[in-house]
Amino acid sequence: MGRAPNLYAFASVDDELAPNLRKYVVDQQNEALNRHGVFRVAVSGGSLPKTLAKALLAPARSEDDKVEFGKWEIFYADERCVPLDHDDSNHKLVKAELIDQIPEGAPTPKVFPIDEKYLDDVQEMADQYEKTLVSVFAARDSVKLPLFDLILLGCGPDGHTCSLFPDHPALRETDAWVLSVTDSPKPPPKRISLSLPVVQHAVKIAFVATGSGKRDVLKQIFETEEGSRLPCGLVNSGAGDKVSWFCDKPAVEGISFPRRGSVI
């Protein structure tokens, strides 16, 4: 690993974390657009879409601060195997919180939800989503792993991220880009998830973790060997300073800075 991940702690979500997350995402967007004219992002569910909406739907303060949704391609870092209009669907959440809130008439992102045809077969669902990635990121033969410009993730209180859970065999996957999970400890049990190598390979990876409920697991992830083996810890160790954590004060209280990472 190169340098340690960046760990940012903000006094409040609305007034500080959201605008800083906005700046970070727009910087990644602008760099990606300069590189290849499109911004390819993967997002998780949980509390992330709401915070992301706070960050991205605020009006632009300058030309450089513009969110160019029309040039975005949005994929799911993980998805629950439920219909797209089900309350458990990450797509439904992202759509309601973010995509449907983009002002009328403004360009919208291209979104890649799961195909509901495969709801009865989680492995087939994963394989089909991988095929979607292959079709976007070029043929499998010539691309070892898809290169997302940015992957936006949450962190569960047990240290899971995407639908990669602690001690789960899925963490050892080295070949597939998209995995099936049928025994998720967090309901619903059936899900698909990007694999750890795909997450670690992204140009940038950002976690958003807020609230005192995340304090214990963050302390473990940043301060203990055991925590470095949790899924979030594995992203940290595999991707190093490509990773940035956007946290609020209650989530990081008691973590000894600047042992690893930095605070802004």
Q: Which of residues 46-65 bind ligand 6PG (CB under 6 A)?
A: 46-48
Among 39, 74, 78, 202, binds ligand 6PG (CB under 6 A): 78
Residue 90 interacts with ligand 6PG (CB under 6 A): yes or no: yes
Measured between alpha carbons, how far apart are the two ends of the chain, in Å?
Answer: 23
Q: How far apart, in whole angstroms, are the C-alpha atoms of residue 19 and residue 263?
A: 16
Residue 25: CB minimum distance to ligand 6PG, A: 16
For residue 148, give every residue at least 6 positions away whose Cβ sits within 8 Å of its Cβ, in sequence order, or none: 40, 41, 42, 75, 198, 201, 202, 203
User: Are 45 and 90 within 8 A, CB to CB?
Assistant: yes
Per-residue mark of binding to ligand 6PG, 185-204 (x: CB under 6 A): -x------------------
Number of residues that bind ligand 6PG (CB under 6 A): 15
Q: How far apart, in whole angstroms, are the C-alpha atoms of residue 134 and residue 114?
A: 14
Q: How far apart, in whole angstroms, are the C-alpha atoms of residue 195 and residue 222?
A: 22
Residue 243: CB minimum distance to ligand 6PG, A: 15
Residue 28 interacts with ligand 6PG (CB under 6 A): yes or no: no
Q: How far apart, in whole angstroms, are the C-alpha atoms of residue 110 and residue 132?
A: 13
Q: Which of residues 158-187 bind ligand 6PG (CB under 6 A)?
A: 160-162, 186
Residue 153: CB minimum distance to ligand 6PG, A: 6
Per-residue mark of binding to ligand 6PG, 222-241 (x: CB under 6 A): --------------------
The residue with tokens 């946290």 is 247
Q: Which amino acid is at 199?
A: V
Residue 13 interacts with ligand 6PG (CB under 6 A): yes or no: no
Query: Which residues of this chain interact with ligand 6PG, rule CB under 6 A?
Result: 44-48, 78, 80, 90, 154-156, 160-162, 186
